[in-house]
Amino acid sequence: MQTVTETVVYNRAGQRVVSPDYLLFEAPRTKHFMTGSEAVKEAVKRSSVDASVSYPITPQSEAAHLIGELWVEGYVGVYFRGESEFGVMSELAGCAMAGARAITTTSGPGTLRAMENFPMWAGTRIPVQLVLMARGVNSPLSIQPDNLEVSFLLDTGCMIWYAENAQDLFDMIIAGFVVAEQPDVHVPVITAVDGFFVSHTREAVMLPPDDIALPPYNPYKAPMPVIDAEVPPGRFLRDPFVMKSNYISYATHASWQWEVRSAIERSRPYAKHYLRGLTEEFGDPTAELLFVACGTAAAQSKEAVRLLEEEGIKARVLKLKTIRPFPVEELRQAVKGAKYIFVPEFNVVGWLEREVRRYLYGVCDAEVIGAPRVAGGMTMPPEFIVKEVMKLTGKEVKHVL
């Protein structure tokens, strides 16, 4: 008689290794009441992380601190503090080039200080993860939630995902590693949330058990060899093309930049699977009034849809979970039947409105309205969104006293 033996594999921390699908979709979940920062810790704990580098800046300091606790408990291989955010992102790249699954967190001015590194990450094709807790950027100084900095990251060659709440963030961090490490993707992923609104808000989060974790990263599946000075990316770090003014150097740079963008495009099917779609819809599907939003703006829009319903106005929300890749087809599908498209945002420039206009140009007759827009840490009460919408109808608003 034959006996079948199932091999159980454990990671460094002694957690049972399970498939990403099991961890994200099948494992039983229990309810926990926690902040977004604590949700980051819970996600990293279940992701078999090899390395994390930290640097304090509000509002991500707690998340960075909690990853440090995981290192003390043996769940994270290496953890240390960088000299600055520039140091952090450079050192994280070093960890990843040496074959580590690596994650860090930053906010606002920290993101700007580290900026040079993000296109470098993408160009060297390292699947690192940055949890970005967006905050205002100077000047004047602000520590408050404002997501202007996300617009600076849009074309760095990193994937950008946007979580609405602590639950989204937990699931996105785990899914982020899985998608970023696909051999045909293999670019960095930035999982963004609005600082404070998510990092410091305490809410119910459904978590799988903590004795199971993602399979460890296998660097030998990378589309490029782990640190090798003779082929890209090592070769062009050692011997930059900029030194050579000839056509082959221009062409190499250009084609490599195209390849990074193509890699983001190739992430679509994986992201669709692990995020259960690049977008999420809320409200009456027949409504002519549509909010297109991400993060906290999507949350506030959902509340506004409820208030509008009380006023007898049908509305719906298209929440974008990914910004890079941009969910073009999903957006074009959702705007069918819409007459007014509001894009509420937590920044002064309206970067999401620009994106929405860009992808709807010539394909949709609905009016795109870049409002309401708040910045510098202001809250966007759902009543305020309703007021903005009511301008169209000329009606009085009952909710606002």
Contacts with another protein, residue ranges (CB under 8 A)? 29-31, 33, 38, 59, 62, 65-66, 69, 143-145, 164-165, 195-198, 200-204, 206, 296, 298-300, 302-303, 377, 379-384, 399-401
Q: What distances in angstroms separate CA 119 from CA 92, 123, 125, 188, 257, one per listed residue?
A: 14, 6, 10, 9, 10
Tokens of residue 386, six digits? 């309703």
State the nearest-atom distance from the C-beta of 254 to another protein, in Å.
43
> Which residue lies nearer to another protein by CB, 33 or 80?
33
State the nearest-atom distance from the C-beta of 354 to another protein, in Å.
24
State the nearest-atom distance from the C-beta of 203 to another protein, in Å.
5
Q: Which amino acid is at 283?
A: G
**CA angle, 223 then 227 then 232, to 5°:** 60
State the nearest-atom distance from the C-beta of 291 to another protein, in Å.
12
State the nearest-atom distance from the C-beta of 101 to another protein, in Å.
24
Tally of CB atoms within 10 A around 6: 4
State the nearest-atom distance from the C-beta of 76 to another protein, in Å.
16
> Which residue lies nearer to another protein by CB, 53 or 198?
198
Whole-angstrom Cα distance, residue 212 to residue 63?
Answer: 21
DSSP states along 110-168: HHHHTTTHHHHHHHTT---EEEEEE---SSS---S---HHHHHHTTSS-EEEE-SSHHH
DSSP state of 365: -
State the nearest-atom distance from the C-beta of 387 to another protein, in Å.
12
**Residue 75 φ then ψ, to 5°:** -90, -20
Neighbour-count burial of 230, counting CB atoms closer than 10 A to its CB (0-12 exposed, 13-18 middle, 19+ buried): exposed
Select from 72, 64, 68, 71 the least CA-distant residue to 110.
Answer: 64
> Which residue lies nearer to another protein by CB, 117 or 191?
191
State the nearest-atom distance from the C-beta of 366 to another protein, in Å.
24
Residue with tokens 């549509």: 290
Q: Which residues of 208-217 are buried (b: 16+ CB within 10 A; e: fewer)?
A: beeebbbbbb
**Residue 158 φ then ψ, to 5°:** -95, 150
**Under a CB-based contact definition with an 8 Å cutoff, are residues 125 and 184 in contact?**
no
> Which residue lies nearer to another protein by CB, 156 or 301?
301
> Which residue lies nearer to another protein by CB, 4 or 72?
72
